[in-house]
Structure 1
Amino acid sequence: MKITRQILLLPALALAMATGTPAVPASAKSVSEVKIYFTYSSESGISGSSAGNAQIKNGISYMPANLVKATGIEILWNNASKTATFSGWNKSFSVQLGSSTGVLDGQKVPLGGTPYMSNQELYVPVKFIAAALEGGPVRWDPAKKTLLVNHLHMYRSYSETFEGGVYSLSLDSGELYLTTKQNTKHKLATLGRGLDVIDFTFEHTPAGLTLLRVSNVYANRICMPGTTPIF
């Protein structure tokens, strides 16, 4: 089911690394192939789990960067600077290939390891990802040779740029914001929790205002906001 809303708009940490290191296997080789399993959830009640391959390199656990996409995080790779930028709703961090220091929510932090490339994939320290996504400590299951990380947070969002402004929507809280060209942020509406697949459509009204249609596909419930948007 597709539900469309219309909104009439006026013109326009320092990283707390977990102490200790999981009891990962020692190896004559510098790199050991293992598995990783993690769980995640959102404030709107959505939850899930993912599994993949990981590596133990010189006693430090690393995971492929792309695995974080399950939590709603998007990744932008800058080939010139060899930097990966991770972004989601009110969450941003970045790492640079070969550097043991990264940036988390605007602050420089130690990564607990050094990101590297393997089989054309970027690997980042698991403990850094767990802390950045506000999860629990990294644990090691020796029987299954698997790294375990639970309770990662989700940062699902959707955004589009229109006439120089960036319209951003949290898919979990339903909060809709406009960030202007002057980098000022304005809350426009709250559209309900647990949104799914979102699409924005912008139009100009005869009166010179901007009409924003927010379409939520597959949702089965809509909460009417107590604000001035029209639907």
Structure 2
Amino acid sequence: MMYKKYALATLLTSTLLASTFTPIYAKSATPVTPYSYELNYAQKEGYYSPSHGSTVTRQGTTFVAMNDWLTDQSGLQITWDQSGTRASLDGFIKKIAVRVGSRTALLDHQKVTLSAAPFKAIDPLSEKSELYLPIRFVVQALGGTELRIDAANHKLVADHLQSLNVLKDSYQGTTYAVKKANGDIYIAQGKNLAKRIASINETLDLADIEVTATPKGLRIMRIGDSYGEPHINYQDFTLIFKNGALIRQSHMNYHWGVGTNIEMYNGNIVLNDGQTLRIIEDGTGKVIDTIDLFKLGGGKDTYTVEGLQPDFIVVRSIKNTHLTLIDRQTGKSIILYKELLNANQQEQVENDAPPMGRDDRLTYVKRNGNTLYFTYDKGSKNEKKLTYTLK
């Protein structure tokens, strides 16, 4: 969920912008019906959510209104200075600044010359005063292909535009972001341009991001994503950074539902891909232990890990969803709902199985000596605290 590079500063020099624009409309005394436009944004596979609208022409140059329909899809956010004449279009990994009435603009902090000056006018679609920019500049700034004319539909079309929609989180002056269209990871400090440092190679849908730090200075980015229709599938990504560089990562797909995985064990980081558990030493990022979940779980499956101790592990199979206690030395496993729940509750578990139903509603909490603590139906009016004594 790869793409062409986005850096266009060297490509879009003032000479290029000034010399390669060819007017869409020939000058004519006869009024010309404005073309509509279709801007298609690149995704890992194909296109998604194209921007549609109408163009206007002034003195041979075709303009497009930077209204909500276009900025939402492109990921550009427009802010104006107090005079209302200078507009900043910020897409985190792309920065544009223009001034109404001036052909001089800034693209990624580099001065460029536009084919015609931007202006403000009432957009018939939004019925608001909008910024109008030359459409070729918009397409090139977003990395798209040249405009082509679809004469049959009286439409201008450009493909492979780069949607700049990102998810961001900041920690101690550094902003981390993931691009939703393809999973590229960026960092930025202060007013500097964002720098691509890695990728999870995945298109994200209803996603969120969180960046934290470990006690010994590693940065951890966690990305959760609900996808599909009606968004019943869930996946998460964990990335570990050291001195700004990605050193470890894991991806787990829960398919139907959302799983829970422990994040730390004995002061170290836990990475789980559903098949292998890796214990990562804090500070260094070294892998100090691995646990074969296939071997412990008794077969090929995807396993979440809710509890980990030197002598046992608490896992949940994605297929049967049952929380299971496994002795790490002997491999003996205990399906916990059969030990902790009464007959009526067990019947509910067995008759209300996923994917359309619920799991066993058990949550591992902690260990105290030989006693393990669990919660049943956490957060509901039927919530109960349960215990299990290790033999």
After TM superposition, the score normalised by the length of structure 2 is: 0.46
State the alpha-carbon separation in 2 of the partners of residues 181 and 19 from structure 1.
34
Greater shift after overlay, 76-85 or 216-225? 216-225
* Residue 202 of structure 1: how far off its partner (Å): 5.1
Residue of structure 2 in register with 1:4 after alignment: none
Residue of structure 2 in register with 1:38 after alignment: 39
State the alpha-carbon separation in 1 of the partners of residues 220 and 238 from structure 2.
17
Superposed CA offset, 1:185-219 (max 9, x none): 887764342122322345676x4766543222226
Q: Is the 8 A contact 1:22 1:138 kept in 2?
A: no
Residue of structure 2 in register with 1:60 after alignment: 61
State the alpha-carbon separation in 2 of the partners of residues 143 and 62 from structure 1.
21
Q: Which has the higher contact order (CA 8 A, sep 6+)?
A: 1
* Percentage of pairs with the same residue: 23
Residue of structure 2 in register with 1:228 after alignment: 248
Q: Is the 8 A contact 1:83 1:96 kept in 2?
A: yes
- Picking from 90, 99, 103, the partner of 2:102 is 99
- Picking from 161, 164, 173, the partner of 2:173 is 164
State the alpha-carbon separation in 1 of the partners of residues 70 and 153 from structure 2.
22
State the alpha-carbon separation in 2 of the partners of residues 183 and 131 from structure 1.
22
SS in 2 for 1:23: coil
* Residue 33 of structure 1: how far off its partner (Å): 4.3
Residue of structure 1 in register with 2:71 after alignment: 69
Q: Which residue identity is paired with 2:100?
A: L
Q: Is the 8 A contact 1:95 1:102 kept in 2?
A: yes
SS in 2 for 1:102: strand
Query: Structure 1 residue 133 and structure 2 residue 142: aligned?
Result: yes
Q: Is the 8 A contact 1:191 1:224 kept in 2?
A: no
Residue of structure 2 in register with 1:86 after alignment: 89
Q: Is the 8 A contact 2:74 2:164 kept in 1?
A: yes
The verdict on how the C-alpha distance between 1:172 and 1:228 changes in structure 2, with shifts beyond 3 A counting, is same
Query: Structure 1 residue 155 and structure 2 residue 155: aligned?
Result: no
State the alpha-carbon separation in 1 of the partners of residues 193 and 104 from structure 2.
29
State the alpha-carbon separation in 2 of the partners of residues 50 and 217 from structure 1.
24
The verdict on how the C-alpha distance between 1:27 and 1:36 changes in structure 2, with shifts beyond 3 A counting, is farther
State the alpha-carbon separation in 1 of the partners of residues 152 and 191 from structure 2.
55
Q: Is the 8 A contact 1:24 1:140 kept in 2?
A: no
| Structure ranking higher in helix proportion | 2
Give unmatched runs, 5+ long, in structure 2. Answer: 1-8, 123-128, 240-245, 250-269, 272-391
SS in 1 for 2:77: strand
Residue of structure 2 in register with 1:47 after alignment: 47
State the alpha-carbon separation in 2 of the partners of residues 180 and 192 from structure 1.
23
Residue of structure 2 in register with 1:174 after alignment: 183
Q: Which residue identity is paired with 1:47?
A: Y
SS in 1 for 2:248: coil
State the alpha-carbon separation in 2 of the partners of residues 154 and 85 from structure 1.
17
The verdict on how the C-alpha distance between 1:184 and 1:117 changes in structure 2, with shifts beyond 3 A counting, is closer
The verdict on how the C-alpha distance between 1:50 and 1:117 changes in structure 2, with shifts beyond 3 A counting, is same
Q: Give the aligned length.
A: 216
Superposed CA offset, 1:139-181 (max 9, x none): 4455544333333233332212334321212224434344456
SS in 2 for 1:21: coil
After TM superposition, the score normalised by the length of structure 1 is: 0.73
Two-structure CA RMSD over aligned residues (Å): 3.5
Q: Is the 8 A contact 2:106 2:112 kept in 1?
A: yes
Q: Is the 8 A contact 1:137 1:149 kept in 2?
A: yes
